Structure 1
Amino acid sequence: MIETTSYYHEKLYKALSNRKHIEKPQLVSVTTKLDSVDSLGFFQAGKVYQGERVYWTSADTTFTLVGVGSAYTFEADRNRFFSTRQMWNDLLGDAVVLNPYEIPGTGPVALGGFSFDPLKEGDGTWEDFPNSKVFIPMYLLTEWGEDTYLTLNLMIHPNDNEEELYNIVTKEYQNLISGRYKEEERVEVTGQEEILPAEFKQIVSKATDHIKTDQIGKVVLAREMVVSFSDDRKAASVVRKLKEEQTQSYIFAFESGDSCFVGATPERLVKVENNELLSTCLAGTVPRGKTPSEDEALGEALLNDEKNLQEHDFVVQMIKEAVTGCCENVHVPDAPVLYPLRNLQHLYTPVSGTLKDGVSLLDVVERLHPTPALGGYPREDSLQFIREYEPFHRGWYASPVGWFDSYQNGEFAVAIRSALLKKDEAVLFSGCGVVEDSDPEEEYQETAVKFLPMIHALGGKE
């Protein structure tokens, strides 16, 4: 049943008035069901909270989360996953939650991400994004299938005036849910530069030397591109473009400070719903064909390519091992299938299981990250190679980004096919898996293809 505005206002007011009177800040969370809302309009209307907005659309369901404002933010440098989980549980312990629906992604929900490697020294590019940052939005829009929900999450302090808070938030959320997406002023691309392409090929060659001498089994290397604009590039218009063009991908935009990390990734890290876990092995890549017959031939070649099959199997075995440690009834198919996207097609293997008692989604994320598809194998040796030879800081690129709720549901994707928007420029990222017989020129060309989704969304030249 869709609640009337007056009924929701009454429920919100009661929640604020009946909160526990304790001598520390307390979370009050109230959820209602709405008629349909323009999710991009909601995101745009929240620009007063610039730096505290998030947009997330899942790849395989009609599921969208839009968060505006921060009720509470968790940050941690050391023991990132454990510390975040502990802070989350502590906050929920005293929370007042009114949510009769208990739909995944409603009520108290945390959204955010973690850096790829907290031990890599920063270079300033990611100054707005700490090693871990998740936040509970003040205003959370949830689209689940045909239904739409709004959750207000408020941190109430002992001396706060409930009447004043009520008046502020009821006015703000009405403005948000009535927002309609408006096409933003056109921003022209003024420059597009690949960063250190020759050096990238040299590092690929160095990596194959290490692999041939058994120092590592596989390493994933990445490179950067910088696109410049005539004015500040707005996140909402980039998200709209990605939603139109990358319909089988997770679309995300995480704002922090003056920057926004945006992308369209096809790669799920892990999803948990009703205690059932699903992880995804996505490694091995070829372009799409220009004709159906060429497309089929490229896909068939990928399914039989020894280099790509080897790269894919590294990922499958590691994810299977990690999932087996925290799940029962683990299932892994015998062979990969093709996963076609607009520009690329990949080898794909799902891994599923039932979560063991006492294991949380963040526990699984910690076990899985980084998979061999994003770091390499063995994990520590490949990470050390990346730290030593990759000439930039990945920040949140190739890292876990996603959400989790108070009902033990959640999902994290791997933040590839992405860009960091920094006012009038964007830094794009693209990577490839290097194994013993990798060719530097071919790996360079593979990363060039993987840049295409973001280049197109930003209006650059392919």
Structure 2
Amino acid sequence: MEQSTAAASAGFDPLLCFAIGPSLGFTERFYWQEPGGQRIMVGLGSVATLEAQGPERFRQLAGAWQHLIAEALVAARPALAAHKPPLLFGGFAFDPEQPRSALWEGFPDGLLMLPAFLFTFAAPEPTLTLNVLVAADRDPLQLGDDIVAQLEVLAQALSSPPDVPPAMPAVTTPSSLHLESLLPPAAWMEQVAQAVRQIRRGAYEKVVLARAVRLLRQDRSFEPEPALWRLREGYQEAYLFAFSRAGSCFLGATPERLVQAQGGALETMALAGSAPRGRTLHEDEQRACELLGSSKNQREHQIVVEVLRQALASLCTEIHSDPEPHLRRLKNIQHLETRITGRLQPGRSILEALEELHPTPAVGGFPRAAALAAIRAGEQLDRGWYAAPIGWVDAAGNGSFAVALRSALLRGHEATLFAGGGIVADSDPASEYAETRWKFRAMLGALGVEEDDDENSF
């Protein structure tokens, strides 16, 4: 493997780099943007793909990742690097023991990919990394010629990229759009009521139940670029991601970081307990006070904090957490958040942290085994990569993985949107259903759809 790093054009829109992928023949693409745009990365193509199946998916990929970096030859300018190459993008299924459907074809239980081209927009300056898989008998001169040719094709594509965002209507018209719940709202609320009864009988303390809605559009296919553009405009405070593969694109704007590792320091967060934003400043502050004072939301949040601290105990030393939760305010929803930090023990990696932390009680429930069993038995949904880790890792073990919430899977004329809520002993089914509607708004807006006020619409 050989890598070449060079400065990218200052001021260039990273979304253009993502948009040129199809014109270069790349069916696999990745977009990653951290809150505030402090780090944006775009990967095109794949020169090495690591896949895993089953409950051991994290360990399988950790071993394959270590083997790959041990074999890598890197030619780079370290002073310019915001990460240590090679860097791989990846994602995981929420639960490998859930029955899988054709919806998530091409998205295995675990996947890490080394892109052919990696654009990084971060301090100290933008960089371009070219990854090449080199066979032992490869002619070095021919290899050099091939690399130059690839860079020339890339430069030509960047000189005349497609419009971002592509031409699109402001709002999809009702005549061209059909919106439906995969499970009728009444049936989903009955799931919630059943979970509450089980919790009150002592089966578990909390379970997160998800649901999905499907958008069918007749006039054109769903494309990721306009959706990413809208998400970028409206959700700068979130993690933005898009992963295109096998004719589908999974994308979203999630507020929740699962784990970040940098130089041995590890950070995660508890994000649980939600309320809508208010329409006025007074209403917004009132709802914030109600959220902070809600015993239901505080109890749900504290479960997550305690479980995350316990998970880090097997990986880290010097574990600290905020003494009280604070508000995390997004465009249309607000959450309770607690920051938790630690220092990785020598020889431990971020991929091992994923195994310990996922699924957190914020997306699965507590206790974990009982909650997952309840989800498998009653949710009636193939979550796929929804509510699971998605992100990147580099050769030094640095990386960042978010929880893939506020997301949708696009495939042709169809988009499937996902949302869920934490169910505890005093949960109200109608309120939980309303909460999922708030959470759908991010992706509905990104896809150019205005939500109506009909409470029974989806």
TM superposition score normalised by structure 2: 0.92
CA distance in 2, matches of 1:330, 1:111: 27
Report SS of the residue matched to 1:342.
coil
- Which residue number corresponds to residue 288 of structure 2? 299
**Matched residue pairs, number?**
436
Aligned partner of 1:289 in structure 2 is 278
| 3-state secondary structure, aligned to 1:97 | coil
1:324 aligns with 2:313: yes
- How do residues 438-457 of structure 1 correspond to structure 2 at under 5 angstroms? 438-457=427-446
The corresponding residue for 1:364 is: 353
The one-character-per-residue Cα deviations of 1:3-44 (angstroms, maximum 9, x if unpaired) are xxxxxxxxxxxxxxxxxxxxxxxx212222233232111111
Query: Which of 180, 190, 201 is 2:177 aligned to?
Result: 190
The amino acid that maps onto 1:334 is P
| Match status 1:175 vs 2:152 | no
- 2:65 maps to 1:97: no
Alignment of 1:402-441 (within 5 A): 402-441=391-430
Equivalent-residue separation in structure 2 for 1:442 and 1:179 (angstroms): 49
1:178-218: per-residue Cα shift (whole Å, max 9, x none)? Answer: 45450324264521112221111011011011101111110
- Provide Cα deviations, 1:375-417, integer angstroms capped at 9, x if missing partner: 0001011001101111110000000000011122100000000
Q: 2:39 aligns with which of 39, 43, 63?
A: 63
2: CA distance, partners of 1:107 / 1:91: 11
- Answer yes or no: is the 8 Å Cα contact 2:444–2:450 preserved in 1: yes
Corresponding residue for residue 116 of structure 1: 94
> Match for 2:352: what amino acid?
D
Shift in CA distance, 352/459, structure 1 to aligned 2, threshold 3 Å: same
Indicate conservation of the 8 Å contact 2:39/2:120, yes or no: yes
Shift of 1:261: 0.1
How far residue 448 of structure 1 moved from its aligned partner, in angstroms, is 0.6
Shift of 1:49: 3.7
1:85 equivalent in alignment to 2:62 = yes
Tell me whether 1:45 sits opposite 2:23 in the alignment: no
Question: What is the match of residue 347 of structure 1?
Answer: 336
**Cα distance in 2 between the residues matched to 1:370 and 1:60:** 26
Is 2:103 aligned against 1:125? Answer: yes
Alpha-carbon shift at residue 169 of structure 1 (Å): 1.7
Separation of aligned partners in 2, 1:75 and 1:406 = 18
Matches of 1:106 and 1:43, distance apart in 2: 22
1:51: how far off? 2.8
Identity of aligned residues (%): 37
Structure 1 unaligned spans of 5+:
1-26
The equivalent of 2:196 in structure 1 is 208
Q: Is the 2:406–2:442 Cα contact (8 Å) retained in structure 1?
A: yes
CA distance in 2: counterparts of 1:94 and 1:126, whole angstroms: 31
Q: Report the Cα distance in structure 2 between the residues aligned to 1:453 and 1:106, rounded to whole angstroms.
A: 33
C-alpha contact (below 8 Å) 1:227/1:460 kept by paired residues: no
Q: Does the CA-based 8 Å contact 2:44-2:117 persist in structure 1? A: yes
Residue matched to 1:398: 387
**Residue 321 of structure 2 contacts residue 338 of structure 2 at CA under 8 Å; is this kept in 1?**
yes
C-alpha distance after superposition, 1:279-331 (max 9, x if no partner): 01110000111111111111011011000001101110011111122111111
Aligned CA-pair RMSD = 1.5
**How far off is 1:61 after superposition?**
5.1
| Residue 54 in structure 1 maps to residue 30 in structure 2 | yes
In the other structure, the counterpart of 2:225 is 236
Which amino acid letter does the alignment assign opposite residue 112 of structure 1? G
3-state secondary structure, aligned to 1:70: coil
Q: Is the 8 A contact 1:104 1:410 kept in 2?
A: no
Question: Which amino acid is 1:99 matched to?
Answer: A
Aligned residue for 2:66, secondary structure, equals helix
In structure 1, what is the equivalent of residue 456 of structure 2? none
Partner Cα separation in structure 1 for residue 160 and residue 119 of structure 2: 12
Q: Tell me how far apart the structure 2 counterparts of residues 269 and 397 of structure 1 sit (CA, whole Å).
A: 13
